[in-house]
Amino acid sequence: MAARMPRSLGSVFTAHPARTVVMAFAAVIVVGTVLLSLPMASEGGASTRLVDALFTSTSAVCVTGLAVVDTGAHWSGFGEGVILALIQVGGFGIMTLASFLALLVSGRLRLRMQLTAAAETKSFGIGDVRKVLLGVAGTTLVVELAVGAMLSLRFRFGYGESVGEALHQGYFHAVSAFNNAGFGLRPDSVTRYADDPWVVLPLAAAVILGGLGFPVLLELLRHRHRRRTTGRRGWSLHTKLTVLTTVGLLITGTVLTCLLEWSNRATLGPFDWGDKLLLGFFHSAMTRTAGFNSVDIASMHSSTLLLTCMLMFIGGGSAGTAGGIKVTTFAVLAAGMVAEVRGEPNAAVLGRRLAPHVLRQALTVSLLGIGVVMSATLALLTMTKDSLEPVLFEVVSAFGTVGLSTGITGDLPTDGRLVLVALMFIGRLGPITLVSALALRERTRRYELPEERPVIG
């Protein structure tokens, strides 16, 4: 019998495109770490500690926003440029960017690139990868330019910033917002603009659009054209679930944040009712994994912090710049629970029956996410003297790639920072890799085992 020939490295990556995405993200993080470690990357001209450079690079590539040093004060113009580039690459998607560049240069894509780009962008087929890449690039460019222009004009004429500084501030925050990164150039994030709708609303809009996910954005943009040319009406189930769940969570987060913090003198208390609604909405939008804060997170009530943890864990839409277990996962689990309570044999939502394997995948992603959060929380509690509340908040923020913090990030020891580095990486790529792996492993069984019903509850 002939010996089995080992597969080449390329065939391994072609068979498992999600593995290529993971390796590409890791490689970019390493490059970012090296660049941020250079003396020219810091404001003082001294080399940044390797663990701090690694933490910042991971936070930028995984579009999280957690920081162990003051972004505006510590990093030089070169360092801020590196961070901005890492945010853009991480939010756009490494393999999506590589495929897009190859498409621009050669006008075509090899099969391996099409597979990896499809895995990262959740394209519905190899044939539409080209359209998806062009759509993602065009949407990113338009939103970031528009939001950057609005912010720059406000900083220039509303706050008296110079033209250069206004452009710097405006476009840095626009890129950070659309990519749900949450990096800001001020030590207090955007709290100085808390009651300024001309700043917080464009930021919130960019965050929400980026958090919907590129498949949803492209379908929304093309819906009118498709309806006119093909006569097809309505959105896909994925788009409906994403939009409806996102709107529901935004409203719920806004209402509960306002109710819980209405009289808190350290957060919403000093503002009038209109500004309180604006602040509540902005905080709810930021839990979509953005990371900007307009009030002091550490001063929030414990109930609000728990609410924020729940929203951060759910996250945003699939195949976008958001993290968390994703809103569609949450919606599918809710539909399964409702079906079980009603005693129905199949879960259904919006007039469509959900396949059993979709429910299993949603349950797997959620339970593994809970396991990762609990394990990391336990590990950090053994490494620090902080109480459970801020540690759990920090862990969920890292796993959900949010970037909100109660202020303990910079005080964590080296091993604690490495735990958060691993969490950010898992939170950004874990759901993509896990679901792709589950889909590839799906197979039919040629026999059925005897049925048994253990006692539940």
**Under the phi-then-psi rule, with left for phi > 0, alpha for psi from -120 to 50, and beta for the rest, what region is 66?**
beta
pLDDT digits (tens, 9 = 90+) for 393-445: 999 999 999 999 998 998 999 999 999 999 999 888 776 666 665 555 556 66
Stretch among 268-272, 374-378, 447-451 having the lowest mean pLDDT: 447-451
Q: How far apart are CA 362 and CA 314, in angstroms?
A: 12
What pairs with residue 353 in β-bridges? 348
Q: Encode pLDDT of 190-199 as tens digits.
A: 999 999 999 9
Count of other CB atoms within 10 angstroms of residue 269: 12
Cα 317 from Cα 214, distance rounded (Å): 9
Is pLDDT above 50 for 10?
Answer: no
pLDDT for position 15: 47
Residue 105 has pLDDT above 50, yes or no: no
Query: In the prediction, which pLDDT does 451 show?
Result: 75
Listing DSSP states for 316-344 in one string gives --TTSS--SS-HHHHHHHHHHHHHHHHT-
| String of DSSP letters for 60-119 | HHTT----SS-HHHHB-HHHHHHHHHHHHHHHH-HHHHHHHHHHHHHS---HHHHHHHHH
- pLDDT tens digits for range 374-384: 999 999 999 99
Inter-residue contact 170 to 54 (CB < 8 Å): no
Q: Comparing C-alpha atoms, which of 317, 307, 313 is closest to residue 253?
A: 307
What does the pLDDT read at residue 188?
86
Query: What mean pLDDT comes out for the span 157-161?
Result: 93
Percent of the chain, pLDDT > 70? 81
Q: Which residues pair with 75 in a beta bridge?
A: 42
Q: What is the DSSP letter of 42?
A: B
Cα 91 from Cα 178, distance rounded (Å): 8
pLDDT bracket for residue 16 (50, 70, 90): low
pTM of the model: 0.85
For residue 314, give the H/E element and its range: helix 302-314
**Helices 77-92 + 94-106 axis angle, to 10:** 90
pLDDT exceeds 50 at position 65? yes
Neighbours of 360 (CB within 10 A): 13
Mean pLDDT of 26-52: 93
CA angle 137, 285, 185 (to 5 degrees): 70
Residue-wise pLDDT tens digits, 205-231: 999 998 887 778 777 877 655 555 444
Sign of CA dihedral 301, 305, 310, 314: positive
Whether pLDDT at 234 is above 80: no
Q: State the pLDDT at residue 419.
A: 95
Euclidean distance between CA atoms 22 and 435, whole angstroms = 13
- SS3 (DSSP) at 439: helix
Does residue 170 carry a pLDDT above 70? yes
Extents of the domains making up the chain: 15-440
Look at the block and give the residue holding tokens 């005897």: 450
Q: Which of 83-97, 315-329, 378-392, 439-453 has the highest mean pLDDT?
A: 378-392
Q: pLDDT value at position 90? A: 85
CA dist., res. 15 & res. 84, Å (int) = 32
Q: What percent of the chain has pLDDT over 90?
A: 51
DSSP at 45: S
* pLDDT score at 6: 47
Q: How far apart are CA 19 and CA 13, in angstroms?
A: 6
pLDDT, averaged across the chain = 83
Sign of CA dihedral 207, 210, 211, 212: positive
Q: pLDDT tens for residues 280-294? A: 999 999 998 888 999
Instruction: Give residues with Cβ within 8 angstroms of 384, minimum separation 6.
Output: 391, 408, 411, 412, 413, 416
- Give the whole-angstrom CA distance, residue 414 versus residue 399: 18
pLDDT band with cut points at 50, 70 and 90 for residue 130? low
pLDDT of residue 9: 44
The answer to whether the beta carbons of residues 32 and 60 sit under 8 Å apart is yes
Q: What is the pLDDT of residue 34?
A: 96
Q: With contact defined as beta carbons under 8 Å apart, do 206 and 188 qualify?
A: no
End-to-end CA distance of the chain: 54
Residue 376: its pLDDT value, please?
A: 95
Integer CA distances (angstroms), 320 to 4, 12, 147, 344, 417, in order: 40, 26, 18, 33, 26
pLDDT interval class at 261 (50, 70, 90)? very high
Task: Write out pLDDT tens, residues 285-335.
Answer: 999 888 899 999 999 999 999 999 999 999 988 766 778 899 999 999 999
